[in-house]
Structure 1
Amino acid sequence: MSRILVQPVGQKRLTNVAVVRLKKHGNRFEIACYKNKVLSWRSGVEKDLDEVLQSQTVYSNVSKGVLAKSKDLIAAFGTDDQTQICLEILDKGELQVAGKERESKLSSQFRDIATIVMQKTYNPETQRPYTISMIERLMRDIHFAIDPNSGSKKQALEVIHELQKHFPIKRSPMKLRLSVPEEGLSALMEKLNAWNAKMISKDKSGSQLSCICELDPGFYRDCEALMNNLKGKFEVLALSIHAEGDAHLDQYDEEEHEASHSRKELTATVAKLSDKLQKQTISTTTSGGNAAAGEGKQNKCSTCNALVGDSSQYREHFKSDWHKHNLKRKTQNLAPLTKEECMADIEICDSKADLKEYSF
């Protein structure tokens, strides 16, 4: 008599899904959806409900496969119609994001905040903006925690305020054009001096006097109120002003110094490889004919235009970087290279790729 062994499958159902959760009437209700479809449904791109829901079933816990009780559904939604309840949860519920997706989102938002901080600040010692990598490092030093439910701009302003307590960093000034009647000029100039504004130019047009200045963004609201009182006009020419040129190296600029040093080394390496390639081209041209004449019966590769040995060596040749590189050159209608030339050319290509990676 044969015996059938039943092995456990080890399958966890309803785990690789997007979950939309809604808390109502003291209970939690969840639905299982396809990834990337919930946002499409809410934006109106996706119209077919079956393309969004994995099943038109309401759960109390999707990952454990626990269905919601009918009495709880009626108490919370006034009906036990699964489709109708799914639509309400889909529209009003909170989309639960997986761990890796949440980590990716937070990393992207962290970078966005650092970019905004970089655009709005500068180093008062060098009069140049900090780089993004430096801002990110400073944010980690103060142990800044991202709030995924708050906007990046709002959090960037909080970061600037916190960084100013520990590091030399200032808000980049705004460039404004202010126009006031002649009788209001003295009051305007008095306030600008009190705010340490930098005057760029002055101009008079009829009874109106206008000036262009750079002002700390913290005084923007006060300036707006002042212009309203003086019955003047103001125009924002630039939200953030940085000194011309790249950021200078300073005590926080170790990464940029290392990158600059690496670029110089790579440039020198490319120059050496180019000289080496020219020398190898001359030497292989003079010795290639003699080497081929001294060989016995060999197979010839038409792609590389070279003798590559017996059948075994011929097969191995097709797997080599030499042959693959010449195949790429052949598709570009370029002449084949010898093995030495090919290796040098590959090194040059790799060096150039590294240079592009380090370039800003």
Structure 2
Amino acid sequence: MSRQISTPSNQVRLTNVAVVRINRQGKRFEVACYRNKIVNYRQGLETDLSEVLQTDRVFTNVSRGQFANGADLKKAFGDDLSEEDMCRVILDKGQIQVSDLERSAALEQTIREIVDMICQKCISQKTQRPFTPHQIRQAMKDAEFRVNPTRSIKQQFLDVVKLLQEKKVVDIERAKMKLAIVIPTAQQTSVQEKLDVFDLYQMSVTHESGEHCRILFLSDPSLYRQMDQIAKEAGGQLEIAQQVVTSNGNIEVSDTNVSVAGGAASTGESMYESDALDKDIDELTEQVKSTKITSLKDGSDSEEETEALSMGNRKKQAKKAQKQSKKARRREKEETAERQARIDAEKLRQEERFEKMSRDSSDTRTEASDTAASSAETKSCNTCGGSFSATQYRAHFRSDWHRYNMKLKLTGVPPVS
């Protein structure tokens, strides 16, 4: 067990912290917030301060843990506000410390919203159909558009459309709006004269209860305020019948090469001539029906030819399957022979290895026995060393050499060889 005595920690470590700071009266005040909550608070999605603030205190420096002085807070925010209200002021008006990942995520979100707005409110001049998000992103990249994080989505949407039209990256335009002006019948002539100045495509004029008339037309979104002003001057009101007008249905590739000319009037005519389209559809339906009837009549005559062709195809398939089965059997035999050859070669290798190991073990035993015999015939003195035969070994203990070494051994001196 360790004898070290640790002092308890009296500090609260702030993790996942985002600092919001504000400068007032020459002093800097900061609050510590959660990164994923400060944006929700400013958007109105989160109202509970305990879910936003890591601690309900005002700092002069969050990283150092220095709290703000009470006198400085009263001087900067006034005497009427509590510390919680001061935190709310800092959260609402302060500057957020944003990391690189958060900045890139906000930038990507802005681009996505701009692209979605363009896809919803813009169409192609040729096809009168909306663009895909991938097309818009590529067009923005080709036009070298740069997102400004301080401007609104609507402003940047207008900037993108204007830039794409100037550089002619794609044939883009704002989708028309279907508007309706409801005015007194007496003002119909004057209002229509004002609308003709803008070269609008009028779809219909209907009279309601004899006192009011309703003029339905297509207009560019940029003219909405002027149309509203015309309706108010005539004592009527402006209604939005359809926010975005686009063409629906399939489109042929050849249709994309046909340019739309003649202004707004020709655009309206190409989009709303439904009678001609219905007539073409009816003619195509009749042609399909007649083709089916003809094919049924000719079908009975060609049954015999079809049976003959099917018989020939079946024979060819049978021959092909037979050839494939022969090849498969031949391949199987070859694989079996190769497998047996590998097995025999492995057995032979194992036998040779076993014989070699047995020979090596017998040689080792012979060498060991010879060494034991030689060691048994000769003996050595533990004090003087050397090797002697049995007769020499007995005579060595009576020699002066052995006696002298025994004296040296008693005095701790090494023996003489």
How does the TM-score come out when normalised to structure 1? Answer: 0.56
Deviates more, 1:79-88 or 1:119-128: 79-88
The answer to whether the 8 A contact 1:123-1:170 is kept is yes
The answer to whether the 8 A contact 1:129-1:247 is kept is no
Correspondence list, 1:19-98, <5 A:
19-38=19-38, 43=44, 45=46, 47=48, 49=50, 51-62=51-62, 64-65=63-64, 67=66, 70=69, 73=73, 75-77=75-77, 85-98=86-99
Question: Cα deviations across residues 96-125 of structure 1 (Å, max 9, x unaligned)?
Answer: 333212211221121111111122211212
Give 1:236 shift: 0.4
Correspondence list, 1:195-214, <5 A:
195-205=198-208, 206-214=210-218
Give 1:57 shift: 4.5
| Matching of residue 174 in structure 1 with residue 177 in structure 2 | yes
- Rounded to whole Å, the distance in 1 between the matches of 2:105 and 2:251 is 29
SS in structure 1 at match of 2:240: strand
- Rounded to whole Å, the distance in 1 between the matches of 2:77 and 2:224 is 49
- Rounded to whole Å, the distance in 1 between the matches of 2:221 and 2:82 is 55
Deviates more, 1:159-168 or 1:67-76: 67-76
Aligned twin of 1:217: 221
Question: Cα deviations across residues 191-232 of structure 1 (Å, max 9, x unaligned)?
Answer: 322212112222223132222111111211111111111122
Give 1:173 shift: 0.7
Give 1:15 shift: 6.7
- The structure whose Rg is larger is 2
Aligned twin of 1:135: 136
Name the aligned partner's letter for residue 225 of structure 2.
R
Question: Cα deviations across residues 151-202 of structure 1 (Å, max 9, x unaligned)?
Answer: 3223212222222212232111110122233332222222322212112222
Give 1:141 shift: 2.7
Name the aligned partner's letter for residue 187 of structure 1.
S
Mind listing any 5+ residue stretches in structure 2 that lack a counterpart?
5-12, 258-417
- Rounded to whole Å, the distance in 1 between the matches of 2:152 and 2:218 is 27
Distance change >3 Å, CA 247–CA 169, structure 1 → 2: farther
SS in structure 1 at match of 2:205: strand
Distance change >3 Å, CA 172–CA 96, structure 1 → 2: same
Q: Deviating runs (4+, > 4 A) in structure 1?
A: 39-46, 71-75, 78-85, 246-251
The answer to whether the 8 A contact 1:198-1:214 is kept is yes
Name the aligned partner's letter for residue 19 of structure 1.
V
Question: Cα deviations across residues 258-309 of structure 1 (Å, max 9, x unaligned)?
Answer: xxxxxxxxxxxxxxxxxxxxxxxxxxxxxxxxxxxxxxxxxxxxxxxxxxxx
- Rounded to whole Å, the distance in 2 between the matches of 1:48 and 1:153 is 31
* Structure number with higher relative contact order (C-alpha < 8 Å, ≥ 6 residues apart): 1
Name the aligned partner's letter for residue 25 of structure 1.
Q
Mind listing any 5+ residue stretches in structure 1 that lack a counterpart?
5-12, 252-360
Distance change >3 Å, CA 23–CA 177, structure 1 → 2: same
SS in structure 2 at match of 1:159: helix
The answer to whether the 8 A contact 1:128-1:246 is kept is no
Distance change >3 Å, CA 144–CA 66, structure 1 → 2: farther
Give 1:127 shift: 2.2
- Rounded to whole Å, the distance in 2 between the matches of 1:236 and 1:123 is 22
Query: Which residue among 181, 186, 190 is the counterpart of 2:193?
Result: 190
The answer to whether the 8 A contact 1:21-1:94 is kept is yes
Distance change >3 Å, CA 157–CA 248, structure 1 → 2: farther
RMSD of aligned alpha carbons: 3.3
The answer to whether the 8 A contact 1:131-1:247 is kept is no
Correspondence list, 1:240-319, <5 A:
240-245=244-249
- Rounded to whole Å, the distance in 1 between the matches of 2:47 and 2:224 is 44
SS in structure 1 at match of 2:129: coil
- The number of residue pairs the alignment matches comes to 238
How does the TM-score come out when normalised to structure 2? Answer: 0.49
Give 1:45 shift: 4.9
| Matching of residue 151 in structure 1 with residue 155 in structure 2 | no
